[in-house]
Amino acid sequence: MTPKGEPVLAVLDVGSHKTRMLVAELHEGSLRYRGHGVAASAGIRRGVIADLKPATESINQASVLAEASSQAVIEQCVAGIGGNHVRGVNSQGGIALGSKMREITREDVRAAADRARAISLPSDREILHLLPRHFLLDEVPGIHDPVGMVGHQLEVSLHLATCSASAHQSLVTCCNKAGLAATETVYEALAAAESSLSPDERELGCCLIDIGAGSTELIVYFEGAVVYTAAIPIGGSHFTNDLAVGQHLGLPEAEYLKCEYGHAVVTSVSQTSEIEWQPEDQGVMPRGSIRQRALAEILEPRARELFTLIRDSLRNGAVLEALGAGCVLVGGGAKLAGLLDTAESILRVPARIGTPVPLSRMPAELQQPEYATLVGLMLYAHRTSTIRAEQEGSLRAKLRSMFAGSI
């Protein structure tokens, strides 16, 4: 809440490189930016919390900065979760409606979904999201909302996003230790898609590729529904590490070189182009000169490896041919020059860099690929809270009518 008692929403993105928090207020039913905080991440490897204490400190620092920026007291948040442990599986199940056709209710939909979700999972896995693909009414597929229709049998095809139970609990524990109640956890790629994909892309078929520091997360939409989720154990930090080893540099220097002069396609870099170290280059000490093409010769193999693994993952999931609208790259790693060319060359589909749709009053610095997940978490939190409020209002109306009829 703000000092004036206005309702606010807070979302948290805990990445391997940065921990970010965004705060927005509800103004006339819509979201309006209030503030944000960004802190360096610690205790996190490949998107998973490896050390609770430093991870908690990173979350707390981002929260304090966000509170100061928004002038609001933050007690709870919606947190994003990602990493190599997130996996997706498709399932189908349904119920019989009886020998005579009858109208389908919300309770029937829930019962069909419960049948579809009743799959055997290892003890260390838990369901993160139940995402309906489509419904089948009397074996007729392609139905998006069967409520109000009539039939004999209702089935639902679901995509279940699952995660490591221990990784999920570690995130919740860190939030609690930082003084925050994590009211909901959301798959980061799902959130990024919320802010970066158009309705047409979701309908025609599109893969959102979220290239974070420690891992790359995938989510594929087709005919408006999620059909595939996966993670690749390569992220932007792997590119940085390659440069550090190949050029005998420190990690800060390698990160600076990658962001300012790196390229994923060797032939796009001039053979004579050299990088002269300057003392004012963001604190990097002068070290003579480095051929820019030498950087590309290190970065290109890693980029091709990443998109080859993405292609194989999509092919194994039988969705590679469903990308009618191509792919969208988000995350800090997506900003590497030449990466779009690599994506189009290996995946054989159009590619573009995704940026989040802006909230009202949101600063331009947040309209970057690395903030797609954070803004998407806010849009997701707002949408789900609105749906819950409508459902609660409907329930209250039903209860009032029941009591009124009994008087």
Percent of the chain with pLDDT over 90: 68
pLDDT tens per residue across span 198-250: 999 999 999 999 999 999 999 999 999 999 999 999 999 999 999 999 998 88
- Strand-pair partners of 161: 88, 129
In this prediction, residues 45-65 reach a mean pLDDT of: 93
**How many folded domains does the chain comprise?**
2
pLDDT exceeds cutoff 50 at 280: no
Are residue 147 and residue 234 in the same domain, yes or no? no
Both structure tokens of 245: 């080893």
User: Which residue among 353, 373, 390 closes a domain?
Assistant: 353
pLDDT exceeds cutoff 70 at 389: no
pLDDT exceeds cutoff 60 at 2: no
Angle between helices 52-70 and 165-177 (to 10 degrees): 50
264 found inside a domain: yes
Are residue 259 and residue 344 in the same domain, yes or no? yes
pLDDT exceeds cutoff 90 at 271: no
105 found inside a domain: yes
Are residue 240 and residue 154 in the same domain, yes or no? no
Structural domain including 151 reads 87-162
186/375 Cα distance (integer angstroms):
12
Are residue 157 and residue 235 in the same domain, yes or no? no
| Higher-pLDDT residue of 405, 266 | 266
Are residue 265 and residue 348 in the same domain, yes or no? yes
pLDDT band with cut points at 50, 70 and 90 for residue 287: low
Angle at CA 223, nearest 5°, toward 374 and 134? 100
252 found inside a domain: yes
Are residue 150 and residue 260 in the same domain, yes or no? no
36 found inside a domain: no
Q: Which of 60-64, 186-190, 276-280, 286-290 has the lowest mean pLDDT?
A: 276-280
User: Which residue among 115, 133, 162 closes a domain?
Assistant: 162
User: Which residue among 126, 141, 162 closes a domain?
Assistant: 162
Output the pLDDT for position 399: 41
96 found inside a domain: yes
238/254 Cα distance (integer angstroms):
11
Are residue 155 and residue 255 in the same domain, yes or no? no
62/60 Cα distance (integer angstroms):
6
Are residue 249 and residue 154 in the same domain, yes or no? no
306/299 Cα distance (integer angstroms):
11
Output the pLDDT for position 392: 60
In this prediction, residues 362-384 reach a mean pLDDT of: 95
CATH of the domain at 237: 3.30.420.40
pLDDT exceeds cutoff 50 at 402: no
pLDDT tens per residue across span 34-49: 999 999 999 998 778 9
207 found inside a domain: no
HSE-CB of 236 using CA atoms within 13 angstroms: 30
302 found inside a domain: yes
pLDDT tens per residue across span 106-129: 889 989 988 888 888 888 899 999
Are residue 246 and residue 337 in the same domain, yes or no? yes
HSE-CB of 200 using CA atoms within 13 angstroms: 2
Are residue 139 and residue 237 in the same domain, yes or no? no
pLDDT, mean over the chain: 89
Distances from the Cα of 200 to the Cα of 74, 217, 225, 296, 325, angstroms: 36, 21, 12, 35, 8
312 found inside a domain: yes
Output the pLDDT for position 279: 42
Output the pLDDT for position 273: 85
CATH of the domain at 108: 3.30.1490.110
Q: pTM of the entire structure? A: 0.88
82/98 Cα distance (integer angstroms):
42
